[in-house]
Amino acid sequence: MATSQSPTDYDARDWPPFAVTVDLVVLTVRDGALSALVIRRGEDPYAGCLALPGGFVREAESLDRAAARELAEETGLAELPVHLEQLATYGAVDRDPRMRVISVAYLALAPDLPTPRAGGDAVAAAWTPVASILPDLFPGSPPHSGAAGASLAFDHARILADGVERARAKLEYSPLAAAFCPPQFTVGELRRVYEAVWGVALDPRNFHRKVTGTLGFLVPVGDTTARQGGRPAQLFRLGDVTLLNPPMLRPV
């Protein structure tokens, strides 16, 4: 009857259509700074503004596949060893001035890649320090005089902030910090990931003790490297745990 609320009590074709997009929060750590992949928009609205990469979901494509496709297209790499997970969905009525668009945001964490090339595309993708876009998320850091200070188009600043907060929380309970590292990495490199994402300084000694004491997190490879200078450090690879126990808690 007319007031029924079940999604299948009507033919779905009777109901208003929406455009559905995926937007990507792609994070990496470059030069010790948490950085996000952004594009510069060429067209109105928000022409010339920075925005998150993204695109429309195709008719025969799941949301997850659309996100993976967009990621591959934006970074120019076919199959990336990156973590990709759904973040949240944004559906304010006026978030796009032209029509009703529902955007499903995804969070991707990538190691420090070569500068991304747009896939033969007019829009150039570039890594930008998150602190220069959202200084509120990094209270102690100096104001960025560099490329930006610019805010993002649409509600993308909010989406980026949600993505950073998700990444910060995930680093506590999951081994995802390793997603920012190459396949083999040192404890110091892993610590610099935590410091960049959380925006805090950590005690190297306590960090070392904690991270090597968390069972299943790190597996020693047996080799060492001195790519940071100083005493050579042991190389590790990621273990097989999915949940850290005990967790790596953020400082209060």
Partner DNA sequence: CAAATAGTGTCTATCAGACATTATATC
Partner DNA sequence: GATATAATGTCTGATAGACACTATTTG
Please give the residues from 210 up to 229 whose contact with DNA meets the rule CB under 7 A: 210, 212, 224, 226, 228-229
H/E stretch holding 225 reads: strand 218-225
* Out of 204, 219, 223, 242, the residue judged to bind DNA by CB under 7 A: 204
Instruction: For residues 76 and 126, give the distance between their C-alpha atoms in angstroms, rounded to a whole number.
Output: 12
The stretch among 26-34, 81-89, 132-140, 183-191 that binds DNA (CB under 7 A) is: 183-191
> Is residue 203 at the binding interface for DNA, with CB under 7 A as the rule?
yes
> Is residue 251 at the binding interface for DNA, with CB under 7 A as the rule?
yes
> Is residue 209 at the binding interface for DNA, with CB under 7 A as the rule?
yes
Residue type, 7: P
Binding-site ranges for a second copy (CB under 8 A): 1, 3-13, 15-21, 23, 39, 41-43, 45-46, 51, 53-64, 70, 73-74, 86, 88-93, 96, 98-104, 119-123, 153, 245, 252
Could you tell me which of 46, 85, 81, 79 has the C-alpha nearest to residue 63? 85
Could you tell me which of 130, 25, 27, 35 has the C-alpha nearest to residue 67? 25
Residue type, 142: P
Between residues 171 and 190, which has the closer beta carbon with respect to a second copy? Answer: 171
DSSP codes of every residue in 43-108: SSSSTT-EE--EEEPPTT--HHHHHHHHHHHHHT-SS---EEEEEEEE--TTSSSSS-EEEEEEEE
Could you tell me which of 171, 173, 174 has the C-alpha nearest to residue 191? 171
Q: Shortest gap between Cβ of 249 and DNA (angstroms)?
A: 6
Instruction: For residues 223 and 232, give the distance between their C-alpha atoms in angstroms, rounded to a whole number.
Output: 10
Residue 209 interaction partner, one of a second copy, DNA, none, beta carbon < 5-8 Å per kind: DNA
Q: How many positions of this chain bind DNA (CB under 7 A)?
A: 26
Neighbours of 74 (CB within 10 A): 24
* Cβ atoms 139, 198 nearer than 8 A: no
> Is residue 86 at the binding interface for DNA, with CB under 7 A as the rule?
no
> Is residue 98 at the binding interface for DNA, with CB under 7 A as the rule?
no
Residue 224 interaction partner, one of a second copy, DNA, none, beta carbon < 5-8 Å per kind: DNA
Tokens encoding 245:
């126990």
Between residues 147 and 226, which has the closer beta carbon with respect to DNA? Answer: 226
> Is residue 141 at the binding interface for DNA, with CB under 7 A as the rule?
no
Between residues 120 and 229, which has the closer beta carbon with respect to DNA? Answer: 229
The stretch among 33-41, 106-114, 133-141, 181-189 that binds DNA (CB under 7 A) is: 181-189
Interface residues with DNA (CB under 7 A) are 186-189, 203-206, 208-210, 212, 224, 226, 228-234, 246-247, 249, 251-252
